[in-house]
Amino acid sequence: MQIFDISRRLQNGMAVWPGDTAFHFEVSSFNEGEGTVNVGSLQLSTHTGTHVDAPYHFNDEGKRIIELDLDLYIGPVRVIDMEGKESIEAKDLQDINLDGIERILFRTVSWKNPTEFPERIPHLNPDIAPFLASKGIRLIGVDLPSVDPIESKTLEAHHSLHDYGIHILESVQLDNIKPGDYELIALPLPLVEGDGSPVRAILRLP
């Protein structure tokens, strides 16, 4: 079975949201009897690299990571090409058949340099939420650090998607993925109070 890793690599010096916790990994070595063991430690934001947003991230009354249904993050998914778009709106999906689809990933290929945080991204227009909900979509993913504009303070797309019961997966890596149908696996960590969680996201051909 062919597997495609669509997770961004976690490494020191990687680009993170401006002002957020920088990613840091280090290894300490300990003498254990006659041998040595290496033990790594991590410092990172819950929104580092490829990650899911819990509703609590932008809504104080929203669910935490531990409360989310895991079946949201496992199952058939359709990768949809949106390369060249400045924003993604409901009208962009009018002619795309979404019958029977519950998960979609938008492939914009607009984050050209993964070592630098983008200044502008093709964000989602809030009008996309009611349209996708009418089609039965439960999860959307983007190859971007947010579904809203980088400078947004109101997070209108986040709130609109939440209002229509659509969950969010951000910062997937889709540069080498062809549009089409796959199986998605992108499970969050069991963070009891988590507002988000890094994931190891993969696609498998059905």
Q: Are 128 and 90 spatial neighbours (Cβ–Cβ below 8 Å)?
A: yes
* 60-88 burial code (b ≥16 CB/10 A, e <16): eebebbeebeeebbeeebbbbbbeeeeeb
Query: For residue 161, what is the enclosing H or E element?
Result: helix 156-163
Q: 3-class SS at 140?
A: strand
Query: For residue 129, what is the enclosing H or E element?
Result: helix 128-134
Which entry of 57, 123, 158, 162 is annotated as an active-site residue? 57
Instruction: Tell me whether residue 57 is one of the annotated catalytic residues.
Output: yes
> Would strands 139-142 and 167-170 be described as parallel, antiparallel, or unpaired?
parallel
In the chain the beta strands, taken as DSSP E runs, fall at 3-5, 24-32, 35-43, 51-53, 74-81, 87-88, 103-107, 123-124, 139-142, 167-170, 180-185, 196-198, 202-204
Instruction: List residues with catalytic annotation.
Output: 57
